[in-house]
């Protein structure tokens, strides 16, 4: 691994690293924040944050305002990139921002030319935690959260892997990607035309058969321009009601889809995860 940045912040350490991913067959960059006191003798739990379309690891670390409270709570935060990148990694043939580079959708692609590199689900669920737990003073206690496309990713990771995470939350997640324009574009290319196969990557479908009941916290701004066309959290709320799944959906008046929204409520999410991680 190659360290490409190191910053001291709130008594802890923010680091950026580049490593070779065997799963994605390319170099990947991730950021990790280690709170003060983290050591081999005192490993800390980890929140894995999954970002949204077009983002890199830097968006959350620089804009969310999460590190002060993470330092107080003794929680590490890991932020991967949102897709594979680099020479030889295919992007959107039309150069669009909502597919390909920066838009991996946290699925395992099955279609050409995407299936070689676009296996972000296996990367964030398995390979990246293995790297983090092997090289940093962290424990195997994990939580996951994310925003928009990353909120979709966090929900799917938790729902597909009972027992792997202690807690889950999301900001403005794409809850039913099988039926929204962003999701339909990504799924049809990454996964093919069989919509039945899409269900295993769709939180609104997965929650109906969830084998674990992790309390789920979702914040959504009611002034989000994507609310009614792409996000539609009421669909997940209805499915959770039928399945008797513990979901808290908070509609926040006046808030949009930006990191101003995330920064306004990130402390609630960090405390939500800390309570579960330290239980």
248 close to 220: Cβ distance less than 8 angstroms: no
Q: List the catalytic residue out of 224, 269, 272, 273.
A: 224
Find the catalytic residue in 21, 51, 145, 148. 148
Q: Which of 121, 147, 257, 269 is catalytic?
A: 257
257 carries an active-site annotation:
yes
Q: What's the CA gap between 211 and 164, in Å, rounded?
A: 12
Cα–Cα dist 221/261, whole Å: 7
3-state secondary structure of 122: helix
**Helices (H) and strands (E) in the chain — how many of each?**
10, 9
Dihedral class, residue 30 (left if φ above 0, else alpha if ψ from -120 to 50, else beta): beta
Question: How far lies 109's CA from each of 38, 44, 190, 220, in Å?
Answer: 36, 32, 5, 28
Cα–Cα nearest to 262, from 51, 30, 5, 43:
51
Strand partners, 77: 33, 47
* Dihedral pair phi/psi, residue 40, rounded to 5°: -60, -30
Catalytic status, residue 224 = yes
| Residues labelled as active-site residues | 148, 224, 257
């Amino acid at each position: 691994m190659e360290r490409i940045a190191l910053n001291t912040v709130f008594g802890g350490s923010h680091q950026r690293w580049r490593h070779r991913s065997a799963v994605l067959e390319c170099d990947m960059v991730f950021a990790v924040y280690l709170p003060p006191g983290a050591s081999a003798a005192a490993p800390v739990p980890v929140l894995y944050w999954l970002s949204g379309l077009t983002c890199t690891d830097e968006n959350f670390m620089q804009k969310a305002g999460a590190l002060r409270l993470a330092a107080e709570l003794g929680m590490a935060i890991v932020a991967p990139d949102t897709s594979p990148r680099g020479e030889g990694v295919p992007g959107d043939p039309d150069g669009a921002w909502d597919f390909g580079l920066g838009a991996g959708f946290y699925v395992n692609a099955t279609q050409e030319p995407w299936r070689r590199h676009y296996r972000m689900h296996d990367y964030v669920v398995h390979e990246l935690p293995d790297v983090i737990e092997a090289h940093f003073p962290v424990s195997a206690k994990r939580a996951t959260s994310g925003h928009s496309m990353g909120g979709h990713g966090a929900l799917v990771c938790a729902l597909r892997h009972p027992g792997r995470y202690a807690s889950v939350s999301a900001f403005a997640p794409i809850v039913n990607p099988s039926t929204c324009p962003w999701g339909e574009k990504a799924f049809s290319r990454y996964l093919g035309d069989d919509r039945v196969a899409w269900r295993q990557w769709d939180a609104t479908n997965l929650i109906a058969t969830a084998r674990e009941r992790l309390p789920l916290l979702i914040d959504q701004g009611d002034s989000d321009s994507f609310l009614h066309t792409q996000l539609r959290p009421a669909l997940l709320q209805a499915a959770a009601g039928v399945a008797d799944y513990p979901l808290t959906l908070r509609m926040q008046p006046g808030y949009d889809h930006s990191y101003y929204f995330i920064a306004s409520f990130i402390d609630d999410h960090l405390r939500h995860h800390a309570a579960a991680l330290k239980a």
